[in-house]
Amino acid sequence: MNLKGKKVTVVGMARSGIACAAFLKAKGALVTVTDSKPEDELLKQKTALLEIGGIEIEFSGHSEKALFGAELLVVSPGVNTKAPVFSLAEKKGVEIIGELELAALFMCAPVVAVTGTKGKTTTTTLIGEILKRAGKKTVVGGNIGKPLTNFLLSGELLDEKAFCVAEVSSFQLETINTFRPAIAAILNIGSDHMDRYQNLQQYIEAKGNIFKNQSAAEILILNENDKYTPLYETLAKSKIYYFDSISSLTGGKEGAYLEGEIIVLCIKGETTRLMNYKELSIKGMHNAENAMVAALAAKLAGAAASDIVPVLREFKGVEHRQEFAGEINGVKFINNSQGTNMLAVEKSIQSYDAPIILIAGGRNKNSDFKLLETSVAKKVKRIVAIGEARAEIKKALNNSAPVEEAGTMDEAVKKAYEFAASGDIVLMSPGCTSFDMFKDYEERGRVFKTAVLHLKEAEKETQKV
């Protein structure tokens, strides 16, 4: 795509929007950046755009000139392209893509792309670490870390011998046309973002876009035990590998599976036994599955077992994902702030054998909390509900475990600790977005960790007395 002199509007001033603007400007495009938020909420973004220079900036809405006067719209993932204004722009002949597609049009490095409802960041990070250990030039980004256009601007993704390991969301996959990863993985599908999609089918289809441009020359990794895998199998043209944490692969299928407790890879008739999954530093069967996918993808990308095993053993996890946040008098505190959907909460609950006091809540994404009834009844002794969804959580789950409400994170942590006994786990896994109380899930996680630290200090002072 020749961008020189082309009128391009970037919709959204978030992280990917700023990256797109910088890349487009470097390519000679005439760039406008527009956002629905007022200027006083976007001062950092404004400063970043002014530093790039030569970019028109709009706040508090999108003008007709910005949307309909453009030849190309690059839409940030958080912007819903199903809104009527974008349909009208398309009718007027304006092409609409996202940052992921913009990067795909220019990068030369092969892509290993990971999507799914739960586990994307852990799996993506693991693949990147293994490939780096294997001595391969590797960048990790997309829905985590830096947007891919940042790596294009630096020239790192112009190297055909490099690898791009990308976490990709359903929102990003909505706006692709040519994006075609060399290796794609769909970890799992659970109900999520029902405030964006009219039904689960739309969400499933968006996730499936990860392989829609693949041919038989590319690879797709699927979950043998996910109920939507048969649908993806019928649609994919790619070579399919599987991962299975329940039993060995049968029927000539190849991929990763557990032989007892041993992670095994079977690729092109060659079997490699890697390690006992209980040696992983990251705990829970869902993390064993993440490790299996990472090992399989990295092996298919050219890494050796000697590169894979040390990384799997040493990897301590990613912040806000089953992160150990402290211990007070035998009560462990776990920060899973990134767990913003029901599948994430369920997986995190299932990761522990000890009784759990669950801190959950925030802004609901039209999710059904009743999906957690069974897991909560088995393992959760009490729930502390926070945020806008407090009443919904209490109504849905009070018969599975007693539900208390808290107005702040500090109050939630204190209440959870009061209900806990030595050996119990206080798990903050909200199942909701953070936007009612916090800037993002990262701020929520850090506030939780600070609350635990303050409580620990207060307990020490109490014991001195």
Mean pLDDT, the chain, rounded, equals: 95
CATH number, domain of 289, equals 3.40.1190.10
pLDDT at 239 over 70: yes
Q: Are 302 and 329 members of one domain? A: no
pLDDT at 462 over 90: no
- Give the end of a domain, one of 75, 98, 121: 98
pLDDT value at position 332? 97
CATH number, domain of 377, equals 3.90.190.20
- CA torsion through residues 327, 330, 331, 334, sign: positive
Q: Are 151 and 192 members of one domain? A: yes
Q: Are 59 and 175 members of one domain? A: no
Q: Are 309 and 330 members of one domain? A: no
pLDDT tens-digit map of 320-345:
888 999 999 999 999 999 999 999 99
Compute the average pLDDT of residues 102-115. Answer: 97
Burial of 303 per CB tally in 10 Å (0-12, 13-18, 19+): buried
pLDDT value at position 463? 76
Residue 319 pLDDT grade (very low, low, confident, very high; cuts 50, 70, 90): confident
Residue 2 located in a structural domain: no
DSSP β-ladder status, 255-259 and 262-267: antiparallel
CATH number, domain of 34, equals 3.40.50.720
Q: Are 53 and 115 members of one domain? A: no
pLDDT value at position 460? 86
Compute the average pLDDT of residues 151-170. Answer: 95
pLDDT value at position 465? 60
Q: Are 156 and 303 members of one domain? A: yes
Domain residues for the domain of 429 are: 323-464
pLDDT value at position 98? 95
* Lowest pLDDT segment from 246-250, 331-335, 417-421: 246-250
Q: Are 425 and 456 members of one domain? A: yes
pLDDT value at position 50? 96
Q: What strand order describes the sheet that includes 425-428?
A: 323-328, 331-335, 425-428, 356-361, 380-386, 403-405
Q: Are 250 and 186 members of one domain? A: yes
Residue 1 located in a structural domain: no
Q: Are 296 and 327 members of one domain? A: no
pLDDT at 226 over 70: yes
pLDDT value at position 193? 77
Q: Are 134 and 272 members of one domain? A: yes
Question: What's the total number of domains in the chain?
Answer: 3
- Give the end of a domain, one of 288, 314, 340: 314
Give dist(CA 74, CA 95) in Å, integer: 9
- Give the end of a domain, one of 80, 98, 116: 98
Residue 230 located in a structural domain: yes
